[in-house]
Amino acid sequence: MTITAIKGINDILPNAVGKWQLVESVARRVFTNFGYQEIRIPILEKTELFARSIGESTDIVEKEMYTFPDRNGQLLTLRPEATASVVRAFIQHRLHLQPTMRKFYTIGPMFRHERPQKGRYRQFHQINVEVFAIDDPMVDAEVIYMLLVFLEELHIPDITLHINSMGCPDCRQPFRESLTSYLESVSAKLCSDCQRRKSTNPLRIFDCKVESCRQLVAEAPVLLDHLCDDCVDNFQSVKDHLTSLGVSYTIDPHMVRGLDYYNRTTFETITPHLGAQNAVGGGGRYDGLMKTLGGPDLSGTGFAIGMERLILLLDEQTDMETGPYRLFVACLGEEAQKRGFALVQELRIRDLFVEMDYESKSLKAQMRRADKLGATHVLILGEDELKKDSAVLRDMGAGTQEEIPMEGISKQLLSRLKLSV
């Protein structure tokens, strides 16, 4: 019986890797320009970290996490998101004592046991951005702006920005009472999950995908109508900063995001090209999370982007080549093979993409392979050429070729292919 990959956990094959590398390189360039530093976090964490941060009554913790005991009986979880791990690292390594350590990004796989669908898998990859200890609505606007700049750099089409405010604890309590009262009045029409949520965590009802519940939610009270004066001013400041940056937005009062730690500003970037699951990225402010996890009472804000969704949205014509020039060395005969092999290694360590045939195939077969590899030039080494101590360089695009001497051939090739020696 053939062993295959686990459902919802996919291989990324070589012909697709180029797009992933493009997304990662653009992210690193854009985020570095905005002053962010890369942090790398473990894939495996103590289950308690996510139960305390994400919220025990969320679908992620209740239904979707990959959790198991280790040999000592300690519960461990494959990370379902990155923010909690970055906060944990910030606390553990006392980075709040280092004033240059405030803005971070991380890239890597996450794991959730949910139904696989277009752009959503059980192992999925995220780009995460986090900012700590800067409690200012200007930072919220800048984080949103950076997300939009990143998507624009990738030429992701038809992106719209949705924003909302989740308020603060002072706003949440009267809103929760109003929402709970409404949900009790329509309780008989709620799905079984929402029947339970209305008493344990009524905000999570806004995440329900059941159509009948979505229709009821559309008539429910919204947090924007219950904001305290400070939260109203904060949200207005975020909107003003976005306007000053030329960013248009839609206020979405029903957007609550899927994690319990959010407060005040939340946001999503939406596209019509992904079907019902239309969010490309999103995030918001989470000022109480660090204290909840045992750290100092410092603010936080950030976002996450699903990489699989970005890959789906990338223009099919995006150039994924590793460089402007690719050389294939075609060798005919044992002596040519030996000399060609040594030349290929020399050129590679000088930062040139070079490939060759190892199976002594015919020149015609080697030329076909060079064409499939997208080689811009082919260097032909055969018995006749070696007798004259030369080789033939063929330009695949122009269809021309010329003879060049073997003496100093590596420098000549690098020079002709416009690469520095």
Which range is most confident: 17-21, 24-28, 408-412?
Answer: 24-28
Helix (H) or strand (E) holding 194: helix 192-200
Distance CA 35, CA 100 (A): 10
pLDDT at 343 over 50: yes
Residues spanned by CATH 3.40.50.800 within the chain?
326-416
Average confidence (pLDDT) over 138-156: 94
- Burial label, 403 (beta-carbon count in 10 A; 0-12, 13-18, 19+): exposed
pLDDT at 203 over 80: no
Q: Which CATH number among 1.20.120.530, 3.40.50.10420, 3.40.640.10, 3.40.50.800 corresponds to the domain 326-416?
A: 3.40.50.800
pLDDT score, position 260: 64
Residues spanned by CATH 3.30.930.10 within the chain?
14-168+228-313
pLDDT score, position 353: 86
Residue 354 is encoded by which pair of tokens?
Answer: 């070079």
pLDDT score, position 322: 46
pLDDT score, position 363: 92
Q: What confidence category does residue 188 fall into, taking pLDDT thresholds of 50, 70 and 90? A: confident
Phi-psi region of 311 (alpha: psi -120 to 50; beta: other; left: phi over 0): alpha
Distance CA 56, CA 49 (A): 11
pLDDT at 317 over 50: no
Provide CB contacts within 8 A for 280, sequence distance 6+.
Answer: 151, 156, 159, 269, 270, 271, 274, 305, 306, 309, 310, 313
Q: What confidence category does residue 324 fall into, taking pLDDT thresholds of 50, 70 and 90? A: low
Provide CB contacts within 8 A for 286, sequence distance 6+.
Answer: 83, 259, 261, 262, 263, 300, 301, 302
pLDDT at 225 over 90: no
pLDDT score, position 315: 62
pLDDT per residue as tens digits for the range 39-59: 999 999 999 998 888 776 566
Average confidence (pLDDT) over 249-278: 82
Least confident segment among 107-111, 179-183, 412-416: 179-183
Query: Which CATH topology does 14-168+228-313 take?
Result: BirA Bifunctional Protein; domain 2 (3.30.930)
Q: What confidence category does residue 418 fall into, taking pLDDT thresholds of 50, 70 and 90? A: low
Distance of CA 361 to the CA centre of its chain: 42
Phi-psi region of 147 (alpha: psi -120 to 50; beta: other; left: phi over 0): alpha
Provide CB contacts within 8 A for 309, sequence distance 6+.
Answer: 119, 120, 274, 280
pLDDT per residue as tens digits for the range 364-388: 999 999 988 888 999 999 988 888 9
14 versus 256: the higher-pLDDT residue is 14
Q: What confidence category does residue 421 fall into, taking pLDDT thresholds of 50, 70 and 90? A: very low
Question: Rounded mean pLDDT of the chain?
Answer: 87
According to DSSP, residue 407 is labeled: T
Residue 384 is encoded by which pair of tokens?
Answer: 């006749």
**Which amino acid, 270?**
I
pLDDT at 341 over 60: yes
Average confidence (pLDDT) over 328-351: 90
Distance CA 281, CA 269 (A): 5
Distance CA 163, CA 251 (A): 5
Average confidence (pLDDT) over 156-160: 90
pLDDT score, position 237: 96
Least confident segment among 123-127, 245-249, 315-319: 315-319
Q: What confidence category does residue 219 fall into, taking pLDDT thresholds of 50, 70 and 90? A: confident
pLDDT score, position 178: 80
pLDDT score, position 420: 40
**Backbone angles phi and psi of 214, in degrees to 5:** -60, -35
56 versus 272: the higher-pLDDT residue is 272
Average confidence (pLDDT) over 279-307: 93
pLDDT per residue as tens digits for the range 60-97: 777 788 999 999 999 999 999 999 999 999 999 999 99
Average confidence (pLDDT) over 323-332: 80
Can you list the alpha helix ranges (DSSP code H) found in 307-379? 307-313, 334-348, 363-372
According to DSSP, residue 418 is labeled: T
